[in-house]
Chains A and B, each alone.
Chain A
Amino acid sequence: MSSTRAAPAPPSRRPAPERGRRRADDRRLTWRNRLYRFDMRYMPYLMIAPFFLLFLVFGLFPLLFNAVVSLRNYRLDDPTLPYWAGFENFSRLVADEDFWNALYNTFGIFLLSTVPQLLLALLVASLLNRRLRAQTWWRVGVLLPYVTPIVASTMVFSVFFSRDFGMANWVLGLLGIGGADDPIDWRADKMHAWIAIATMVNWKWIGYNALLYLAAMQSIPRDVYEAAAIDGAGQWKQLWRITVPMIQPVVVFTVILSTIGGLQLFTEPMLFDPNAQAATGGPNGEWQTIAQLIYKVGWKDLNLGYAAAMSWALFLIILVVAGVNYLLTNRLSGGRK
């Protein structure tokens, strides 16, 4: 490696001074040389070091410390418990119906948000990929929800899905569903709450994913479509047989990204609750996600050890699901690798 790096160096520095006496000129050159070599060899590492240092301090260390805490009794309101708990926290987890309920909710909302989100993003992207008037305007437009602060948009949606004064019920009332006499209580059962939360997630991320897809679509040569059109393939077929396989790496990327994001869902379900502070995700945990449950166990019940165990369980679940999704998407979109 070093020889290839050294090759383009100016030839003047090659002949090292053989006599003990060096000329001033020579020395300056070697100094520059060293700087140059340092610059080429180590500078990249130095430049990316801040990220890794920060990751060590704020990423890896908490992760490992979390693993230690998950094996401990760590109750803020009861410091008298024995120090080590062994696997007690994990065995409690298996029998905890709150945990399974939260897992169920998380997957429910995850499916309701990720699948339509990515499909719609694909459609939006393929629309944006055509010739349009005011193309840039549309492209910037779809990104606007992503720019909106998540707390702000969630607060608005929370009012939107309110039982008595919500716009969602007003609109549905116009269509003859529910109405003022029998309004839908969006927070009363799982299905309605999940739909409301998934709507918020979809609204925020469709544009973002669409732009990722669009960027990838731009690199597909036009003549492929022309050839397909001559062979008689319609728009729909072109989308599924040409576009999707050809942007497959980006599809995999978005699937994994939304898997991670979806399984860590926190802000939307948190703020959807009229009594957000309680973190119960509805009176019966109708939409309590795992991230929310972890927050509640750790900072409301003050049981940090148990919360740490839950965090690790979530970490493992995300790894498994992301892996499965990767394999699935890879296969669905043609298995190119």
Chain B
Amino acid sequence: MKRSWTHWARTAAVGAVSLAMVAACSGRSTTDDADAAGGQVTLKINFWGDFGLQDLKTKYEAEHPNVKIQLNSGEYNAQHEDLQKKLVAGNGAPDIAAIDEGFMVQFRSQSDKFVNLLDKGAGSYESKYLPWKWKQSLSADGKTQIGLGTDVGGLAMCYRTDLFKAAGLPTERDQVSALWPTWDKFLEVGQQYTGKTKKKFLDAGTNLFNPILGQQQVGFYNDQEQLQMEQGPKVAFDYTVKAVQSGLSANLVSFQADWDKGFTSGAFAVLACPAWMLGHIKDTAPGTQGKWDIAAVPGGGGNWGGSFLTIPKQGKNVDEAYKLLEWLVAPEQQIEIFKKVGNLPSQPALYADPAIADFKNPFFNNAPVGQIFPKMAQGLTPQYLGKKNGPTRVAVENVIRRVENKSLKPDAAWNEAVKEADKAAKS
């Protein structure tokens, strides 16, 4: 009798465990509902890199005791792909999703899946924004605004004053800007530097390609979504291959470990710098404080990157999310972010604010970043970025990397780039 008892107990235990395991795999936690019942809401924000939100989160939570903010930083491409999946699944998207301009066309053509911010009264913001920034996230028919802009890229050239000095180049920022009015001159300076020091001038071919492409009238796609390789991409690609061929590039892969190490080891002397790059340099190589400075980018203006905050429709706390969104794009917070990580606001009125206009970045040798970047952002006609802009860029960057690692001959590179871009457009 006793034996069968233990036997049964054992069976029951095994059954219970397996049931529990199945149950653990299914069902959602009920904490969300519990929160809602108590008037508590949790707002999740998805973004990448550093949006300068850490301190703002604490501040907002202190002012709004019923709101908890969950910051979720991920990899740039991964966050956009994740958002796309969640939109299709109809579940799981964050309350606020950041979207980069490179992916904006793809998402604004699904504007029915986002909260129309115009319904929430966002129309009053239109006059505050750079006109092109406002239009970037507006649906084609102009009736749905899916996001409010946070930062714009702008473009400049960061350089290491200590390495320039060692190579006998001028170090003062205006003189450096005067060295390279055009990309041809820029490559000449590079050859001079590399010839003298036997060190690499640039971090990566791809980081030459992207800023040059950003300056062109037409990027990968025209506004009929047709691939335009012979236009802007060809210009940028030719310069890039030339730079790689003359040994100027350290052939690193951006945002990877070796690249980050390169900042500290002085593996390269210049780096194309949109405003958002400043935060990355500062975070990656805190020891190089004061060695950097910022000069003008060859070829005048240009833009690289810039983001928006959107509210996917499937969220449960849309109203609370919109309140937070409005707070985040308000001038005080935008200025705070600019000072903290360098992201340049997309509301031009702020550029006149002394907090920005007079701001000098001590990390970059007190460069007047509040003057440099706004100038770029204001005089800009941005190019159209197609729906497949993201994958196409990855495909062409891969071809550049093959030239860098010498598995592809420079003469054959352009045809290969066209082929790969074609494939990406059709993928």
Contact = CB atoms under 8 A, between A and B. Distances in A.
B253 A301 contact: no
Given A39-B7, A77-B106, A300 B81 contact: yes
Contacts of B399: 283
B90 to A, nearest CB: 11
A303 B256 contact: no
B427 interface: yes
Interface in A141-175: 159, 162-165
Nearest to B427: A301
Contact of A76 (B7, B88, B391): B88
A188 interface: yes
B313 to A, nearest CB: 16
B402 A162 contact: no
Contacts of B402: 283-284
Interface string A261-292: 00000000000001101101001101000000
Given A46-B11, A187-B405, A188-B406, A277 B257 contact: no
A54 interface: yes
Contact of B84 (A53, A76, A286, A303): A76
Interface string A65-109: 000000000001101000000000000000000000000000000
B330 interface: no
Given A43-B11, A188-B405, A164 B85 contact: no
Report the contact-size class of chain A (Cβ under 8 Å from the partner). 35 or more
Given A47-B14, A274-B258, A277-B75, A301 B391 contact: yes
Nearest to A164: B258
B317 interface: no
B220 to A, nearest CB: 16
B398 A302 contact: no
Contacts of B224: none
A77 B253 CA distance: 28
Contact of A283 (B78, B88, B405): B405
B22 A303 contact: no
A11 interface: no
Interface string A302-321: 11000000000000000000
A278 B77 CA distance: 8
B258 A162 contact: yes
Interface string B71-106: 000010110010011001000000000000000001
B29 interface: no
A47 B11 CA distance: 8
A299 interface: yes
Nearest to A159: B257
Nearest to A284: B402
A284 B78 contact: no
B401 interface: yes
Interface residues of B, number: 33
Contact of B407 (A165, A188, A299): A188
A283 B401 CA distance: 6
A226 interface: no
B127 to A, nearest CB: 33
A55 to B, nearest CB: 12
Interface in A184-198: 185, 187-189
Interface in B1-57: 4, 7, 11, 14-15, 18, 22
A189 B408 CA distance: 10
A274 B402 CA distance: 14
A50 interface: yes
A35 interface: yes
Contacts of A280: 394, 398
A302 B81 contact: yes
Most buried by B among A46, A275, A283: A283
A50 B84 contact: no
Nearest to B255: A275
A8 to B, nearest CB: 16
A294 to B, nearest CB: 14
Contacts of B7: 39
19 contacts: A47-B11, A77-B106, A164-B258, A165-B258, A185-B406, A187-B405, A188-B405, A274-B258, A277-B77, A278-B394, A280-B398, A283-B397, A283-B399, A283-B401, A283-B405, A284-B402, A284-B407, A286-B407, A302-B81
Interface of A: 32, 35-36, 39, 43, 46-47, 50, 53-54, 76-77, 79, 159, 162-165, 185, 187-189, 274-275, 277-278, 280, 283-284, 286, 299-303
